[in-house]
Amino acid sequence: MKAVIQRVNESSVSIDNKEVAKIGKGFLILLGISKDDNYEKADYLIKKIYNLRVFSDENDKMNLSIQDINGEILIVSQFTLYADCKKGNRPSFINAAPPENAIKIYKYFIDECKKNNLNVQTGEFGANMKVQLINDGPVTIILEN
């Protein structure tokens, strides 16, 4: 499982020119699910994300978590995080989970994130989405397990 976490001032997702999700200060999470991923790996990643201290404290040091600032989260499924470009110029996605498996873990990830009492918004699994963001910093963290 891979997560590209971007600290944002705001972020939104649109499908067919219609905004379907929008957040303020918090995290935009691009989530990639591999064929080897499971709920245990999702739990580990969620715990790590919720405890990442990447928001500024009163001394302008990255010392606060998303929970500390009561931030918001936008989760977008992105199988292309598992692109394999070693051979040729066309990426292979053989390591990405098949959609019927990935959607189960994606939904589980969302449901577990919502249990932490923060505003959690999502894109739409499998849709062609337009993602907008104002990256804060910029701060971008890549987590993988």
Structure tokens at 101: 């498996």
Task: Give the pLDDT confidence of 57-78 residue by residue, as tens digits.
Answer: 999 999 999 999 999 999 999 9
pTM for the predicted model, two decimal places: 0.95
Q: Which of 78, 109, 121, 122 is catalytic?
A: 78
Task: Give the pLDDT confidence of 96-136 residue by residue, as tens digits.
Answer: 999 999 999 999 999 999 999 899 999 999 999 999 999 99
Spatial contact of 59 and 68, defined as CB atoms under 8 Å apart: no
CATH value at residue 78 = 3.50.80.10
Q: Which of 79, 109, 121, 122 is catalytic?
A: 79
Say whether 80 is catalytic. yes
Spatial contact of 139 and 63, defined as CB atoms under 8 Å apart: no
User: In the chain, how many H helices and how many E strands?
Assistant: 2, 8
User: Which H or E run includes 99?
Assistant: helix 99-114
Task: Give the pLDDT confidence of 77-97 residue by residue, as tens digits.
Answer: 999 999 999 999 999 999 999
Q: How far apart are CA 10 and CA 135, in angstroms?
A: 8
Q: What band does 3 get if pLDDT is binned at 50, 70 and 90?
A: very high
Domain count of the fold of the chain: 1
Range of the domain at 112: 2-144
- Tell me how crowded residue 139 is: count the other CB atoms within 10 A of its CB: 16
- Tell me how crowded residue 118 is: count the other CB atoms within 10 A of its CB: 18
